[in-house]
Structure 1
Amino acid sequence: MLNKVILMGRLTADPEVRQTPNGISVLSFSIAVDRNYSKAEKKTDFINLVAWRQTAEFIGRFFTKGQMIAVEGSIQTRNYEDKTGAKRTAFEVVVDQAHFTGGKSENPVRTTQPSYQQPPKFEEPAQNGESFSVGDFNDFDGFEEIGTDDGDLPF
């Protein structure tokens, strides 16, 4: 059996990544996809999608409303009851991969800063209060060469 979906469309709203109670990132969003008809009969479908974990974080960080996006995934259905108690079925695409599709002018960089910090600069450790550098180890004063004439290993 095969369940593979490939779509390209524009985001209908700015994506908002949420966290499950277990701390897993999830993103529910929709895209507008034009049908392939003549210009006189132009119609657009609005497709609901859901992305999880790193894919959700990627879309949430780099995509904005109106931006073109290409997604790959599969269709899933789920049953639920609405507010009136009527049974409903939801169809959505579970996104496995997301791709940039527009030009650079269509892919603005989000203004939020990344959540990681630059690691501190490496500094050589001091020994007995004296500082030293890696270059100090290039002279081998105090070391003696071990002879290997007898074929025995020194350890």
Structure 2
Amino acid sequence: MAQVFIIGRVTADFELQISSNKNSYVRFGLAENIGYGEASKTQYYQVWAWETDAKHLVKRKVKQGSLIWVSGSIELEEYTRQDGESKDKRLKVKLDNWDYVASGKDNTGKETEPKEATSPPTEHMLPGGEINGDKENMPD
């Protein structure tokens, strides 16, 4: 089965739904920008997430405009357009994993404060103690 890794923006808000088999799921569009300038275009995917993944997306407040990455298996699906007559195909992604892409903004679009840098490791954290590169050779 083909696997994909996509970074894109969610195209519309969604909510948790229940299938006829009583399984919870969400379905949403993901827009991936490809290329730059006049050569740029947008590729759209339909992403499906089930049970725990679906609940996690809702709990973490993914919504329209959220920049996320997803990985999953793809399937080319034929469907009938809204006019009821035209046939078309779309890429459907069965979500395996996902998370937000760090963008310097929170989920509301406001700038976030930079996280505090972690302190450098102390001597007791380094195996064999600290090495001074000016005075000692690096270990093999």
| Residues 72-110 of structure 1 deviation map (CA, whole Å, 9 limit, x = unaligned) | 1011244566785776655301111111113463334xx
> Could you say which residue in structure 1 is the equivalent of 2:15?
16
Match of 1:23, SS state, is: coil
Residues in 2 aligned to 1:41 and 1:79: alpha-carbon distance in whole angstroms: 27
In the superposition, the TM-score normalised over structure 2's length comes to 0.63
What are the residue-to-residue correspondences of 1:6-155 with 2, within 5 Å? Answer: 6-35=5-34, 37-62=35-60, 63-79=62-78, 84=84, 89-103=89-103, 105-108=105-108
Question: What is the one-letter code of the residue matched to 2:107?
Answer: N
Residues in 2 aligned to 1:25 and 1:106: alpha-carbon distance in whole angstroms: 27
| Residues 123-149 of structure 1 deviation map (CA, whole Å, 9 limit, x = unaligned) | xxxxxxxxxxxxxxxxxxxxxxxxxxx
Q: Give the aligned CA root-mean-square deviation in angstroms.
A: 2.4
Summarize the Cα distance change of 1:38–1:100 in structure 2 as closer, same or farther, 3 Å threshold. Answer: closer
Match of 1:57, SS state, is: helix
Q: Does the 8 A contact of 2:46 with 2:90 survive in 1?
A: no
Q: How many residues align?
A: 106
* Residue identity (%): 25
Q: Does the 8 A contact of 1:15 with 1:59 survive in 2?
A: no
In the superposition, the TM-score normalised over structure 1's length comes to 0.58
Match of 2:105, SS state, is: helix
In structure 1, runs of 5+ residues without a counterpart are 109-155
Q: Does the 8 A contact of 1:9 with 1:69 survive in 2?
A: yes
Residues in 1 aligned to 2:89 and 2:27: alpha-carbon distance in whole angstroms: 16
Higher CA-based Rg: 1
In structure 2, runs of 5+ residues without a counterpart are 109-140
